[in-house]
Chain A
């Protein structure tokens, strides 16, 4: 491995994993995990790394040899139904169109500060989040616009938050990197990498606590934590893998490995770049999946969510994906090899899904075009809404610091306790 080489070979050319020439969704003989064979996490497939837990499967792509399947001709072999396919397609188009519009608005000066775009990674967001219920939680990093959109936060609210208006999902107080929505259980939006992972683990802890201590028997909410390859070298990540596996928390750790942390290549920063291997070291399954293929992602996600809901504990899923743009809109993106970018651009998740749906007669070109038009309108409306919304008023500056407005603690009668004269001096005489 050339540590100092500026041009880093894309991971695919080093490992037998992604066979770029023939890789399209129809190729079910690819060595990837996300095939129509159910992911057998219960059979002990011991990979080259040793684990103490025989029942934990580290699924390695070159260990599973899928039998060659013919091109799907019966509908039962399809990975997705028409409704699901259209839902996922629409979500991915929404994510892409939204981020493209963000770039436009940024260069026109409507958006400012740090903006991190998600182009190219839509398969991960749509593949995972579309399987969740409203009560399930999602925790993300600063690259969180599309996670919020997939979870259900309206595009108009996200757009106006980015414009810094009072109608944003956080009233303009959070910004691009801090998307919160209590209604849709989007728990942020964190600027520090690794910061969201313990918070997500805590949300999963709550789910378990509610079931076991508060006796809410049907509480099976799961939490998904999204983070990148750079985060996987951070201490908090390992602390949470340990505790999540120790306490069998219903959490899914999703690594969006896009190979680059700003300008630091994953290979230059990591002693063992295969992140999925870190799962079995802590006693949970570690899975690698092609993150540019939304159907494969969805397969893997379904297994992991099922595991979590049944109380079997956490899963670590590494999605090999790529961001088409720079780290943020301020990043000149000079260090990445154009050949690598072209390689992944050819594997655009949206075009792949479109091809799959059309080839398998799940939808016509016209239907998909309609969806794209519809999303264009949604985005236009979102921009208009954001433009016309008012900026936050001056009085909003000091609001929301505390849940109880003055921060003095509210007594049982609803008044500020410190205003009760009985409490002025305390009671014991000294």
Chain B
């Protein structure tokens, strides 16, 4: 019944180099001259800036967030604007400062904790789970924890095994946490603002390679009260033949894959999950009921991943609607290698998504085919 899980070993196919990928802005269409473009980095910076000026209880804590202007320059300019009392450089003590932020949140301050990468959150995971996520439940609603944990998540370029893990699945499993994964600038702005305003602990998984990418933003997005709902996925591209669910950097790949599939006559619907927890099962299921085929894409490890949960959810709720086994694309079941070619093999590429979609549509050819 469920025998469908394929490995993502990408052994052939069109190899797209990393530099080329940077120019593959999703869609790549021309816009009306009124549309402004904004990088994800600027989107995050402006969101933090606006939330800090709106509420003096919001403060930022993390390594290098102040004088260094942020390890990835996300908090650039905030120290000058808000001072060292609100943009706090910490010693290298993840467990300590995360716990301090949680303790401050117990007393209704609104900390934004930056992890230089989410890999370092493992040093503080006791506080993220045990003292932040579980506190509202353990105290029966007396103590809520309005904290945001943010930072880059997932693979970057050549940073090795200990800096490349994706934490969406681990944090997504915990009740009491909200887990968000933005893709575009609009997502970044809207979801970060929603996260800071939210009275519960939010894990905000950014992506380092997306920081420099530009996306068009409308005037509504630039408004200082703009917010996106937590728990709602976005249908980035409508289609009718196969549903592709994905989040973070993989959304860009999926959209490019959808273009390629369009040329082959397969109309793919791409869903940007935006929210890993709560997962928008309604949107996913209604899309699957429309297209009858599902491909889940993620960058993290395959076992117990986000795709596994989506697959289980679809099987539970829309089994009769499935015309083909669910295809699950994930990173390779190894920790991230360093060599550039091996790294490319360990992370899903566009041609993997194309092949999986074709398999789901029963249009596949042998493994040796070029995508």
Chain B residue nearest to A412 in the complex (CB): B225
Contact of B229 among A197, A201, A417, A430 (CB under 8 A): A417
B93 pairs with A202, CB closer than 8 A:
no
A199 pairs with B57, CB closer than 8 A:
no
What CA separation (Å) do A197 and B100 show in the bound complex?
8
Most-contacted residue by chain A among B91, B100, B108 (CB, 10 A): B100
A399 pairs with B141, CB closer than 8 A:
yes
In chain B between 140 and 199, which residues have their CB closer than 8 angstroms to a CB of chain A?
140-144, 146, 175-176, 178, 184-187, 190, 194, 197-199
In chain B between 76 and 109, which residues have their CB closer than 8 angstroms to a CB of chain A?
85-86, 90-91, 93, 95-109
B126 pairs with A192, CB closer than 8 A:
yes
A198 pairs with B98, CB closer than 8 A:
yes
B227 pairs with A182, CB closer than 8 A:
no
What CA separation (Å) do A204 and B102 show in the bound complex?
12
Shortest C-beta distance, B368 to chain A (Å), equals 34
Shortest C-beta distance, B31 to chain A (Å), equals 8
Contact of B230 among A174, A239, A400, A408 (CB under 8 A): A408
Given contacts A188-B131, A202-B103, A209-B109, contact A239 B95 (CB under 8 A): yes
B235 at the interface (CB under 8 A from A): yes
List, in ascending order, chain A residues with CB within 8 A of B142's CB: 170, 180-183
B199 pairs with A198, CB closer than 8 A:
no
B232 at the interface (CB under 8 A from A): yes
List, in ascending order, chain B residues with CB within 8 A of A197's CB: 99
B13 at the interface (CB under 8 A from A): no
What CA separation (Å) do A358 and B250 show in the bound complex?
76
What CA separation (Å) do A404 and B98 show in the bound complex?
23
In chain A between 188 and 211, which residues have their CB closer than 8 angstroms to a CB of chain B?
188-192, 195, 197-207, 209
What CA separation (Å) do A416 and B198 show in the bound complex?
12
List, in ascending order, chain A residues with CB within 8 A of B337's CB: none
B220 pairs with A427, CB closer than 8 A:
yes
In chain A between 379 and 411, which residues have their CB closer than 8 angstroms to a CB of chain B?
399-404, 406-409, 411
Total inter-chain residue pairs, C-beta < 8 Å: 219
Given contacts A170-B140, A408-B278, contact A426 B228 (CB under 8 A): yes
List, in ascending order, chain B residues with CB within 8 A of A246's CB: 91
User: Would you give the 0/1 interface string for A168-180, flagging 1 where the beta carbon is closer than 8 Å to chain B?
Assistant: 0011111000101
What CA separation (Å) do A150 and B154 show in the bound complex?
47
Given contacts A202-B99, A404-B198, contact A418 B229 (CB under 8 A): yes
Chain A residue nearest to B190 in the complex (CB): A426
Shortest C-beta distance, A77 to chain B (Å), equals 40
A425 pairs with B234, CB closer than 8 A:
yes
| SS of A interface (majority) | loop
Most-contacted residue by chain B among A202, A239, A242 (CB, 10 A): A202
A16 at the interface (CB under 8 A from B): no
List, in ascending order, chain A residues with CB within 8 A of B143's CB: 180, 182, 187
B122 at the interface (CB under 8 A from A): no
What CA separation (Å) do A383 and B220 show in the bound complex?
59
List, in ascending order, chain A residues with CB within 8 A of B108's CB: 206
Assign chain A's interface to a size class: 35 or more
List, in ascending order, chain B residues with CB within 8 A of A189's CB: 138
What CA separation (Å) do A199 and B96 show in the bound complex?
9
What CA separation (Å) do A246 and B91 show in the bound complex?
10
Chain A residue nearest to B220 in the complex (CB): A427
Contact of B99 among A191, A199, A399, A404 (CB under 8 A): A199
B99 pairs with A403, CB closer than 8 A:
no
Most-contacted residue by chain B among A171, A197, A198, A214 (CB, 10 A): A198
Given contacts A192-B130, A195-B130, A198-B99, contact A409 B141 (CB under 8 A): no
Binds A, one of B64-72, B211-219, B342-350, B358-366: B211-219
B255 at the interface (CB under 8 A from A): yes
B103 pairs with A409, CB closer than 8 A:
no
A203 pairs with B186, CB closer than 8 A:
no
Given contacts A178-B139, A240-B99, contact A202 B91 (CB under 8 A): no
A198 pairs with B229, CB closer than 8 A:
no
B104 pairs with A206, CB closer than 8 A:
yes
B230 pairs with A402, CB closer than 8 A:
no
A402 pairs with B135, CB closer than 8 A:
no
B56 at the interface (CB under 8 A from A): yes
Chain A residue nearest to B199 in the complex (CB): A403
B59 pairs with A243, CB closer than 8 A:
no
B237 at the interface (CB under 8 A from A): yes
Among all A-B residue pairs, the 7 with the closest Cβ atoms: A202-B103, A198-B99, A239-B96, A180-B139, A418-B229, A403-B144, A417-B229
A-B contact pairs, 24 of them (CB 8 A): A172-B140, A173-B138, A173-B140, A180-B139, A183-B142, A188-B135, A195-B130, A197-B99, A198-B97, A199-B106, A200-B103, A202-B103, A202-B106, A206-B108, A212-B85, A213-B59, A214-B56, A235-B95, A236-B95, A240-B99, A401-B136, A427-B218, A428-B184, A428-B217
Q: Other CB < 8 Å A-B pairs besides A209-B104, A428-B221, 5 of them?
A: A180-B143, A200-B103, A209-B109, A243-B90, A428-B35
